[in-house]
Amino acid sequence: MHPLHGRQRPHSSPGALPGRLRHIALTGLLAAALAATLTGCGSLPPGPLPPPSQFLTAPADAPLSQLAATVPAGRSAFRAMLYSADALQTRLDLIRQARSGIDIQTYLLGDDATGHQLMRALRDAAARGVRVRLLVDDLYTAGMSDLLLGLAAHPGVELRLYNPFPAGRDSWLLRSASLLGDFSRLNRRMHNKLFIAD
């Protein structure tokens, strides 16, 4: 009898535990085979290389060029941003003041209020004739296809995904399954961050 419930425990046969382990192992094996089947052919097709893109030199009369000219020759300058709201506002101001080009390389561009603000500002910059180049790691872009395609469709915007996943543009499950078939490549991520305006 069970000491707490006053009921008898069901007897298990001596072979039940190995049978259950066998069932778990078989289920795991079938899940791995299914994932490998779904992603086994999921490699990226070789596509044409995009044309080379060069950094643009900002005109001397651009506001950011004039600000940079105030730094004494042979010196550099920086300003530490202590608060995230200030850092975001500064980036938005740089985008709004840019006259020739904006280059951004980032690991993460979120599908949130901040990401939407940045993408709107980049779209607006491109609309006023600023060339925008954006390189984003593909790891956290699941579900963002419409946003990214909308930005990339804008004239003056060059958007590239670093090390893109072959399947599951909008599904974390398919992206995770892709890792099983191409882990050595998909494990290489771009953690660099770069923000250059004019």
DSSP 11: P
Please report which confidence band the pLDDT of residue 14 belongs to, taking 50, 70 and 90 as the band edges: low
Tokens for 126, please give them: 């491109």
Residue 43 has pLDDT above 90, yes or no: no
Residue 12 has pLDDT above 60, yes or no: no
Would you say domain 58-69+80-197 falls under CATH 3.40.630? no
Looking at residue 119, its pLDDT comes to 95
Q: In the chain, what percentage of residues exceed pLDDT 90?
A: 38
Residue 169 has pLDDT above 90, yes or no: no
Please report which confidence band the pLDDT of residue 178 belongs to, taking 50, 70 and 90 as the band edges: confident
Looking at residue 78, its pLDDT comes to 84
Q: What interhelical angle do 172-186 and 16-40 show, nearest 10? A: 80
Please report which confidence band the pLDDT of residue 152 belongs to, taking 50, 70 and 90 as the band edges: very high
Give domain limits for the chain: 58-69+80-197
Residue 38 has pLDDT above 80, yes or no: no
Rounded Cα distance, 35 and 144, in Å: 23
Rounded Cα distance, 65 and 99, in Å: 10
